[in-house]
Amino acid sequence: MCGNNMSVPLLAEAVTVSGMEKETAAVSFPETHHNQHGWADTLTAIQLPHVKFICPHAPPIPVTLNMKSMMPAWFDLMGLSPNSPEDESGIKKAAENITAIIEHEAKNGIPPNRIMLGGFSQGGALSLYTALTCQHQLAGVVALSCWLPLHRNFPSASSGNKNLPILQCHGDMDIMIPVQFGAMTAEKLKNIVNPQMITFKTYPGLSHSSCPQEMAAVKEFIEQHLPRI
């Protein structure tokens, strides 16, 4: 099982954006900003009244790509190409910590099938990996400007939930995580979940960032898969 009986250290530091009415759904959006609300402010602008947003912050760790300097990160990054070595133990540990949030919310009345994971860049990568390997059937994944960690381990690493809706969004001018990596990820995902579950959107002229059109697509995806009940 993934993360049973774990404490939830990430929630102590997380920014939580509460719903305006009874919360019947939640979106966990792990991020790497530390000194500001970061994505929480962006998500507030597209929030639905019955949905709670939880934005856990990555802890500072030494990152190889950053010359081993400390920076907020969910796992070590040795490179940003599909063939780069990966921090397998760090990825799995981070996924356990995100799963602990899912299980905490479930104990407090929001079932996993009313919980969505999302994230940008490394946060999106972590959300993809967690949703695909966790035993819980989640409502979906929002994967922005990211990739699938440990992609060589799939589809065998998957928990087998074939009906997981996934929205991938990527800027076509992203030089940090090139859009080709996003497209390769989308094709890989079609071998893990039902292909019709995958939506891959690209945005002309967008670099490694977000845009209003992308956030409108995210809001529509959340509305579709986390309707008011």
From first to last of its 229 residues, the chain has per-residue pLDDT tens of: 343 434 688 898 899 999 999 999 999 999 986 544 578 889 999 999 999 999 999 999 999 999 999 999 999 999 988 889 999 999 999 999 999 999 999 999 999 999 999 999 999 999 999 999 999 999 999 999 999 999 999 999 999 999 999 999 999 999 999 999 999 999 999 999 999 999 999 999 999 999 999 999 999 999 999 999 9
User: Which residues share a beta bridge with 72?
Assistant: 60
Cα–Cα distance measured from residue 135 to residue 44, given in angstroms and rounded to the nearest whole number: 29
Catalytic-labelled residue, pool 28, 121, 145, 158: 121
User: Which residues share a beta bridge with 52?
Assistant: 26
pTM of the model: 0.94
Kindly state whether residue 56 falls inside one of the protein's structural domains: yes
Alpha helices in 25-150 (DSSP H): 39-44, 88-107, 122-133
CA 3 from chain centre, in angstroms, equals 17
Kindly state whether residue 208 falls inside one of the protein's structural domains: yes
Domain that holds residue 173: 10-226
Total structural domains in the chain? 1
Active site residue 208: yes
Kindly state whether residue 2 falls inside one of the protein's structural domains: no
Q: Are 170 and 203 in contact (CB under 8 A)?
A: yes
Catalytic-labelled residue, pool 127, 151, 174, 210: 174
Kindly state whether residue 46 falls inside one of the protein's structural domains: yes
Active site residue 76: no
Kindly state whether residue 59 falls inside one of the protein's structural domains: yes
Catalytic-labelled residue, pool 37, 159, 207, 208: 208
129-140 in b/e form (b: 16+ CB < 10 A) is: bbbbbbebbbbb
Cα–Cα distance measured from residue 186 to residue 167, given in angstroms and rounded to the nearest whole number: 10
Cα–Cα distance measured from residue 180 to residue 54, given in angstroms and rounded to the nearest whole number: 30
Q: Which residues, 6 or more positions from 3, have their beta carbon under 8 angstroms from its beta carbon? A: 96, 97, 99, 100, 102, 103, 134
43-70 in b/e form (b: 16+ CB < 10 A) is: beebbbebbbbbbbbbbebebeeeeeee
Cα–Cα distance measured from residue 9 to residue 213, given in angstroms and rounded to the nearest whole number: 34
Q: Are 155 and 195 in contact (CB under 8 A)?
A: no
Kindly state whether residue 3 falls inside one of the protein's structural domains: no
CATH of the domain at 58: 3.40.50.1820
Kindly state whether residue 5 falls inside one of the protein's structural domains: no
